[in-house]
Amino acid sequence: MVVVMEKGASTDQVKAMVERLHEFGFRTHLSEGVERTIIGAIGEKTAATIQLLEVSPGVEKIVPILQPFKLAGREFKQERSLVKAGSCVFGGTHVPVIAGPCAIESEEQFLECAQLVKQYGATMLRGGAYKPRTSPYAFQGLAKEGLRILSEAKRFTGLPVVTEVVNPRDLDDVAEHADMLQIGARNMQNFTLLHEAGLARKPILLKRGLSATVNELLMAAEYIISAGNDQVVLCERGIRTYETETRNTLDLSAIAAIHHLSHLPVIADPSHGTGKWRYVTPMSLAAVAVGADGLLVEVHPRPEEALSDGAQSLRPQVFADMMAKLKPIAAAVGREV
């Protein structure tokens, strides 16, 4: 349920209410909005407890949450959340574009790519140091050396960086180097990892599983938020369908659905969503038109030499073109890139 405090409720009243809820055995999540404070309370409630809580000082009303995702849902919080990662803000008017290669392959490759995507307008850098590959024989990433290169690129460009964490054991290491931690599609329901991400003090980029429903994605976000971290950005990256022309089917209706169901920002990844570089620009434009709160795009200085996902990686010049085409589309929907 949500305890909605009155507009003028004092800090002491909010504090007292939180303590009261704890006495009744509830876990609480405070959300201080511009207008008023609301307290999410999770636990067993009886009509008698609700009656008592409802007449406590400073309380306006108590609203039950029917959605299964208690903290990620719109019932808990009506206004859209803003999630900040370094200088990047997801969920506001500006639409951040995260760009970089699938994997950090070497210092030269990554710094070259980082400098180019920055020049063409990217607002955040990406690059995998730990790569969850379908084949155990494929390039698995540079691990700690990759993290060092990531930090180097951050210093070199001044852009914030996001990278994937695959194993809970690496979480502290990754959090030391990255401004945002990515949980990949294959790990969307790795509940240990989700819980650990909930204890981290860094924003999380949570990608939709290959065959996960929107409901399951929001429940995965709920794991992170309920563990204490409400800085979650969701990512639609395509789902498995019977279509083979594209690697996955980028489900743009999920973006509209998530905005309806949840207050969390949601971005689109047309690179993994389509698997082919030719489709990345048109699907990026469509994603922004439908209301995506950001884009994640793979760019490689020489896609033909990429150690992973070359087929879906944009050449820097194509990325520059895409950025130019995005501007009028963003403007048409009241956003900017």
> Which one of 102, 285, 314, 323 is in contact with ligand PEP (CB under 6 A)?
102
User: What is the Cα gyration radius of the chain?
Assistant: 21
CB of 274 to Mn ion, least distance (A): 12
- Give the residue at shortest CB distance from ligand PEP: 184
Binding string, residues 83-122; x marks residues near Mn ion by CB under 5 A: -------------------x--------------------
Please state the closest distance from residue 269 (CB atom) to Mn ion, in A. 9
Among 40-48, 67-75, 144-152, 305-313, which window interacts with Mn ion (CB under 5 A)?
A: 305-313
Closest CA to 275 of 250, 300, 256: 250
> Which residue stretch of 3-11, 51-59, 90-98, 184-192 sits at the interface with ligand PEP (rule: CB under 6 A)?
184-192
Query: Tokens 């955040």 belong to which residue?
Result: 124
Which one of residues 162, 269, 309, 322 is an interface residue with Mn ion (CB under 5 A)? Answer: 309
Query: By Cβ distance, which residue is nearest to Mn ion?
Result: 102
Nearer CB in complex with Mn ion: 293/309: 309
Among 74, 77, 272, 335, binds ligand PEP (CB under 6 A): 272
184 binds ligand PEP (CB under 6 A): yes
**How deeply is 152 buried, as exposed, middle or buried, from its count of CB atoms within 10 A (0-12, 13-18, 19+)?**
middle
**C-beta of residue 41 within 8 angstroms of C-beta of residue 1:** yes
List of E strands, the chain? 2-5, 27-32, 37-42, 59-63, 83-85, 88-90, 97-100, 124-126, 161-164, 180-183, 204-207, 232-236, 266-268, 295-298
Q: What minimum distance in Å lies between the beta carbon of 271 and ligand PEP?
A: 8
Answer yes or no whether residue 185 interacts with ligand PEP by CB under 6 A.
yes
Site for ligand PEP contains 295 (CB under 6 A): no
- How far is CA 131 from each of CA 102, 184, 287, rounded to the nearest angstrom? 9, 9, 26
Q: From CA 164, how far away is CA 314, in angstroms rounded?
A: 20
d(CA 293, CA 92): 7
- The residues in 226-255 that bind ligand PEP, with binding defined as CB under 6 A, are 237
The answer to the question of residue 128 lying near ligand PEP (CB under 6 A) is: yes
Q: Which stretch binds ligand PEP (CB under 6 A): 26-34, 90-98, 181-189, 328-336?
A: 181-189
CB burial class (10 A; 0-12, 13-18, 19+) of residue 162? buried
SS3 299: strand
Binding positions for ligand PEP, rule: CB under 6 A: 102, 128, 184-186, 207, 237, 272
Binding positions for Mn ion, rule: CB under 5 A: 102, 309
